[in-house]
Amino acid sequence: MAPKLFGTDGVRGTANSYPMTAEMALRLGAAAGRHFRRDGSSGHRVVIGKDTRLSGYMLETALTAGLTSTGMNVLLLGPVPTPAVGFLTRSMRADLGIMISASHNAHQDNGIKFFGPDGFKLSDADEAAIEDIVAGEIVAAQPANIGRARRIDDAGGRYVEYAKTTLPRGREFGGLKVVLDCANGAAHRVAPQLLWELGAEVIPIGVSPNGTNINLQCGSTWPRACAAKVLETGADLGITLDGDADRVILIDERGQIADGDQIMALFARRWAEAQILRDGVLVATVMSNLGLERFLEGHDLRLERTPVGDRHVVERMRQGGWNLGGEQSGHIVMTDYATTGDGLLAALQFLAAMVETDRPASSLARCFEPVPQVLRNLRYAPGVDLLSRQEVQKVIEDAKTRLAGRGRLLIRKSGTEPLVRVMAECEDEGLMTEIVDGIIAEMEAVA
């Protein structure tokens, strides 16, 4: 039985290795085209965006070949943020949207994410249907029905214009100095342009992609680069995006980092005061800090937790009819404006809060005191299931007993990398560190 293709966020892996090969991309494109062209009629279209990884050229070409072979017309957007693909899928009346990106991962990885005609990521049922078609024989289109491909030169500009509409009319950021780290990724053009058009003085870093430097000591997974630049230039705010710009981490004027939990806390409070936070609910994952939950309770708001992954957050938001959610890692989902996490739109909302309150970033970006939290990752070899080992299970159960009533313990496999993530929260930092170190040591011993 072939391994499952789709993970928690599309198909992902090392470029030129299964499943991120040109051959598999061609089959995925053909299978998606066959699935979304069920009625056999012409005129179906798909938009494809990508980030700046070298392997994006290979995968884009292979996907295009597969899609056109089943009669889909392909609109190539070039490098654009993931949320721009969600937006343009709807705006351009496409049947399907595809983003080629491995998000915050290093350049050697890549991924393929699919969006439905509504701009939201595909359902489990659609992904399973595509995977079934990949495993079988894919029926090609008749010669007269082969699709066409064309490049859309103004895709980034369309997204920039839309992003500005998410702010109140006339809202500008004149007088604000902003360091903007684009992670040498998908937003390296649109993000500086957007902030400049809104009047900010922009100091860009991470805007020189070469195919292999995406997320390399820059961006939301390496915020120290932005923090150093903020202090060096006396900027009012630092904005750090990841490789596909669906996450953001902020840096205040003192060089202090504000993660997704702090950003969500600010937005939840402000939206509740403005009576636009639906049902007083914020949706976040099990990774969000206990301090966020306590902050919300103190404002008569509620935290709805989901499994890790912005896809799970969005699904729960849609089920409950709620409009704000996200992840500690910086995915901020505002379904009034976007169908997925959008780092740029979240940054605009934060800048708007600075202007409207006339307060510095440091007074807005620290809404609560986090409960001490530690997260450690352990990489494992393919085929190894560390969490099923009896020795590991015993040390985990002992740890839960020691933490009972004093904190939280969360252990899970990453859905995008061969990692086991061990996270603990506890007011007693010594106990917390001892517990996590013990679990990691046991897993290393049996790996």
Shared-domain flag, residues 94 and 236:
no
**Average pLDDT taken over every residue of the chain:** 94
| Residue 344 falls inside a structural domain | yes
User: For residues 43 and 329, which has the higher predicted lDDT (pLDDT)?
Assistant: 329
Shared-domain flag, residues 247 and 380:
no
C-alpha 301/C-alpha 295 separation (Å) is 8
| Residue 169 falls inside a structural domain | no
pLDDT tens-digit series, residues 276-288: 999 999 999 999 9
Shared-domain flag, residues 389 and 360:
no
| Residue 160 falls inside a structural domain | no
Shared-domain flag, residues 146 and 207:
no
Q: Which of 330, 345, 370 is the last residue of a domain?
A: 370
Phi and psi at residue 40, in whole multiples of 5°?
A: 80, 0
> So what's the pLDDT on residue 406?
85
> pLDDT at residue 161 above 90?
yes
Shared-domain flag, residues 269 and 308:
yes
| Residue 170 falls inside a structural domain | no
Shared-domain flag, residues 116 and 142:
yes
Shared-domain flag, residues 76 and 29:
yes
> pLDDT at residue 98 above 70?
yes
Q: Which of 370, 392, 421 is the last residue of a domain?
A: 370
> pLDDT at residue 41 above 70?
no
> pLDDT at residue 149 above 90?
yes
> pLDDT at residue 42 above 50?
yes
pLDDT over 90 for what percent of the chain?
87
> pLDDT at residue 26 above 70?
yes
CATH number for the domain including 437? Answer: 3.30.310.50
> So what's the pLDDT on residue 1?
42
Shared-domain flag, residues 323 and 344:
yes
> pLDDT at residue 383 above 90?
no
pLDDT tens-digit series, residues 189-232: 999 999 999 999 999 999 999 999 999 999 999 999 999 999 99
> So what's the pLDDT on residue 2?
56
CATH number for the domain including 295? Answer: 3.40.120.10
Shared-domain flag, residues 347 and 215:
yes
| Residue 401 falls inside a structural domain | yes
Shared-domain flag, residues 66 and 142:
yes
| Residue 304 falls inside a structural domain | yes
Shared-domain flag, residues 63 and 190:
no
| Residue 305 falls inside a structural domain | yes
Out of 103, 220, 288, 329, pick the active-site residue: 103
Shared-domain flag, residues 81 and 195:
no
Q: How confident is the model at residue 9 (pLDDT cuts 50, 70, 90)?
A: confident
Q: Note if the pTM is more than 0.75.
A: yes
> So what's the pLDDT on residue 38?
65
Domain membership of residue 384 as a residue range:
373-446
Find the range with the poorest average confidence among 18-27, 112-121, 375-384.
Answer: 375-384
* Whether residue 101 lies in the annotated active site: no
Residue 321 tokens read as 């009819």
Q: How confident is the model at residue 91 (pLDDT cuts 50, 70, 90)?
A: very high
Domain count for the chain:
3
332-368 burial string, b = 16+ CB within 10 Å, else e? bbbbebbbbbbbbbbbbbbbbbbbeeeeebbebbbbb
| Residue 2 falls inside a structural domain | no
Q: Which of 138, 154, 170 is the last residue of a domain?
A: 154
Phi and psi at residue 28, in whole multiples of 5°?
A: -65, -40
